[in-house]
Amino acid sequence: MNKLILEATDTTPRVVLDHLENKFEIIGEACPEDAKLFFASLFTWIDQYKNYLYFLNNESNAKKSLIFTFHLNYVSSSALKYTYNFLQQLEELKPLCETVTIKWLYDKEDTDMEDNGKEFSTMVNIPFIIQPAS
């Protein structure tokens, strides 16, 4: 399985899904012209990662602890929907992991992003750490 790294653009966040380094980040602006198309590669990667974890657990019986970091400055309404769908996919990793945690970072003055994190935390069964970015 390959890691997925997408560099940020003016309308899309930087994405790092690196299972070898256990580093999972989505950082920046999320207002892609076609949110479905942008998130498709993330959904595909998570599906492959589920299979990877399943086989890894069968081989070594050593479950990983995962922290997915989100630090979004802006999320369009269509990207918000797909962000929620992505969080639902992360919830599906829970049986295959020791722990799965969402670290939701927001800029201190950005109460909208703070509220988005709080709302998402009530919609999925994953522990959230919601805090201002340092």
Which pLDDT belongs to residue 60? 79
Phi and psi, residue 62, nearest 5°: -115, 100
pLDDT in tens, 50-86: 999 998 888 777 788 999 999 999 999 999 999 999 9
pLDDT over 90 at 6, yes or no: yes
Which pLDDT belongs to residue 134? 82
Q: Which domain holds residue 19?
A: 4-132
Q: Please count the structural domains in the chain.
A: 1
pLDDT over 80 at 17, yes or no: yes
Q: Which residues contact 133 (CB under 8 A, 6 or more apart)?
A: 71, 105, 106, 107, 108
Q: Is the pTM of this model over 0.75?
A: yes
Is there a contact between 116 and 80 (Cβ–Cβ < 8 Å)? yes
